[in-house]
């Protein structure tokens, strides 16, 4: 067998000079039932084997087994230890999440050798670098229903990503039922980019997704984007919306990408952003926010609510400050921690402890880094989402029909990998960084196949930036190592139905 290839890179991996563990029809899985189910979901499609439990037909005394257990307090949160040899495999997590991640590693270790399924003899001790390791899925530009979101949760969780940020509203549509504001889904949910069908999640749908994510140890962070990106609100409650601000920039985007100029009360199906705004000095706006964020908080067990705050070009800087102060304070009163895109860092009244999400470039321009640092200065932390590295909707190839190129052109897999979170914003190091998130905006994305084609393999770079040791802190934390380890995932991804793009940068391994 080749050297073990794990993504994201573990903290510590040692190969042992012992025989591998053979996985066959007699192999039993003992211990934690949830982790055993997760392992079977990986093994069955890959091998065709259904692993038995403790009550299987084989002789427990003579059959090597895979043992899965939680040893509370045995290490940092989400950490695990995995040992494998001919005599058995043991995966021990410091908590349930750590055990789950150990199982994902075990799934990657499993490979075929001369017709036999084997796990190499190894010892792995693994701990995440950051507590927040996320992906974002935009369901506003194009709506993606429950099955697609479930599939993306499975894909992300397998790479030890633990946050799903759902972008639930934008100029093109409103995607979550709000019982106190029924017109939002009655009038503002049917549209999407390019005139495609819209849609929305009922509250039961949303609860289901939150529970499904939790079963994979992922926390849902919901976002209603305000005060800009709110044209859809004008379809339902036009009295809350200002008239669109039609700058030459907006007109240029519409000329380049098609569609009509936005008109309040009429569905917008284009790609332009930055023209809409809620009415900042109308108390009805804040009553609206109390309603929508109030219901969102009640539906969301996780600690964060995202208020948006990006590209509010239809709102004056003075009004933006007023809005951010009031919106972030509403979320605090609801018992949640506000999150906002980095632009909100300019607001003097931003609630203390708000988490900032930086979407500027790896090398900051235009003062974006200063606005991100402002969150830290007010007692918050920063999530790194540099657009020219881990925006998964950027084109991976100039000829791709999927994706855009505004973030410094085509984003190769190598460019997605070769950055470090602690090197982006001066004065914002690991202690000030909550984590990393890879957004996927859906202007050109209509299906799970489109998501797969854009996200894989580049999502692995974000996973490694969030989980693995810092660049320079481990000899294998390099592009050459990463590309080889990613290429080795091809058989597993194929067995799981992940339609990755076979980029030429990666040395893809043949199927088992």
- Residues tagged active-site: 311
DSSP code of 394?
A: B
Sort 186 into a burial class: Cβ within 10 Å, 0-12 / 13-18 / 19+.
middle
CA neighbours within 13 Å on the CB side: how many for 4?
27
| 377: Cβ contacts below 8 Å, ≥ 6 apart | none
Integer angstrom CA distances of residue 327 from 28, 48, 50, 292, 396: 53, 52, 51, 11, 36
- Are 6 and 485 contacting, i.e. CB atoms less than 8 angstroms apart? yes
- Assess contact for 153 and 218: CB atoms under 8 A: yes
Return the CA Rg of the chain: 23
Structure tokens at 504: 């030429």
Distance CA 62, CA 239 (A): 74
Specify the 3-state DSSP secondary structure of 212: helix
Q: Are strands 132-138 and 163-167 parallel, antiparallel or unpaired?
A: parallel
Surface-to-core class of residue 190, CB atoms within 10 Å of its CB (0-12 exposed, 13-18 middle, 19+ buried): middle
Contact 3, 509 (CB under 8 A): no
Q: What is the DSSP letter of 280?
A: T
88: DSSP letter = E
What is the C-alpha separation between 474 and 439, in angstroms, rounded? 27
Helices (H), 58-199: 96-109, 146-157, 183-188
Q: Distance between CA atoms of 59 and 64, rounded to whole angstroms?
A: 10
Taking alpha carbons only, the member of 355, 414, 349 closest to residue 388 is 414
CA torsion angle 296 299 304 308 (round to 10): -30
């Amino acid at each position: 067998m080749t050297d073990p290839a794990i993504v994201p890179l573990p903290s510590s991996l040692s190969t042992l000079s012992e025989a591998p563990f053979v996985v066959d029809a007699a192999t039993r899985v003992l211990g934690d039932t949830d982790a055993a189910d997760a392992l079977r979901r990986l093994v069955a499609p890959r091998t065709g084997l259904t692993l038995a439990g403790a009550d299987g037909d084989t002789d427990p005394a003579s059959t090597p087994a895979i043992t899965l257990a939680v040893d509370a307090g045995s290490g940092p949160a989400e950490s695990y230890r995995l040992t494998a040899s001919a005599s058995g495999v043991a995966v021990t997590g410091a908590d349930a999440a750590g055990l789950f991640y150990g199982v994902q590693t075990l799934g990657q270790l499993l490979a075929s050798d001369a017709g036999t399924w084997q796990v190499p003899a190894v010892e792995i001790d693994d701990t995440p670098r950051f507590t927040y390791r996320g992906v974002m899925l935009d369901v506003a530009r194009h709506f993606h229903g429950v099955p697609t979101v479930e599939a993306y949760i499975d894909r992300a969780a397998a790479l030890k990503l633990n946050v799903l940020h759902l972008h639930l509203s934008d100029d093109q549509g409103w995607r979550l039922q709000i019982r106190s504001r029924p017109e939002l889904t009655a009038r503002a949910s049917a549209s999407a980019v390019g005139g495609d069908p819209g849609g929305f999640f009922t509250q039961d749908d949303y609860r289901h997704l939150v529970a499904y994510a939790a079963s994979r140890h992922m926390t849902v962070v919901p976002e209603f984007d305000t005060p800009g990106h709110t044209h859809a609100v004008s379809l339902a409650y036009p009295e809350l919306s200002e008239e669109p601000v039609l700058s030459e920039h907006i007109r240029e985007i519409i000329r380049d990408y098609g569609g009509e100029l936005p008109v309040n009360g009429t569905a917008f199906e284009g790609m332009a952003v930055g023209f809409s705004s809620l009415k900042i000095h109308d108390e009805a706006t804040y009553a609206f926010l109390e309603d929508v964020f109030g219901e969102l908080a009640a539906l969301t067990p996780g600690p964060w609510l995202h208020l948006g705050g990006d590209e509010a070009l239809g709102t004056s800087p003075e009004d933006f400050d007023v809005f951010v102060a009031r919106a972030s304070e509403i979320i605090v009163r609801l018992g949640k921690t506000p999150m906002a895109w980095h632009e909100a860092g300019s607001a003097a009244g931003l609630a203390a402890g708000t988490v900032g999400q930086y979407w500027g470039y790896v090398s900051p321009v235009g003062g974006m880094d200063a606005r991100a640092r402002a969150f830290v200065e007010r007692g918050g932390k920063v999530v790194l989402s540099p657009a020219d590295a881990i925006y998964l909707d950027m084109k991976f190839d100039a000829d791709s029909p999927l994706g855009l190129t505004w973030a410094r052109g085509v984003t190769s897999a190598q460019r997605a990998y070769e950055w470090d979170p602690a090197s982006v914003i001066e004065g914002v190091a690991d202690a000030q960084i909550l984590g990393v998130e890879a957004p996927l905006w859906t202007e050109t994305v209509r299906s799970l196949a489109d998501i797969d084609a854009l996200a894989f393999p580049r999502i692995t770079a974000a996973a490694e930036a969030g989980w693995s040791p810092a660049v320079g802190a481990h000899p294998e934390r390099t592009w050459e190592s990463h590309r080889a380890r990613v290429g080795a995932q091809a058989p597993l991804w194929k067995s799981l139905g992940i339609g990755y793009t076979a980029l030429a940068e990666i040395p893809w391994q043949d199927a088992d």
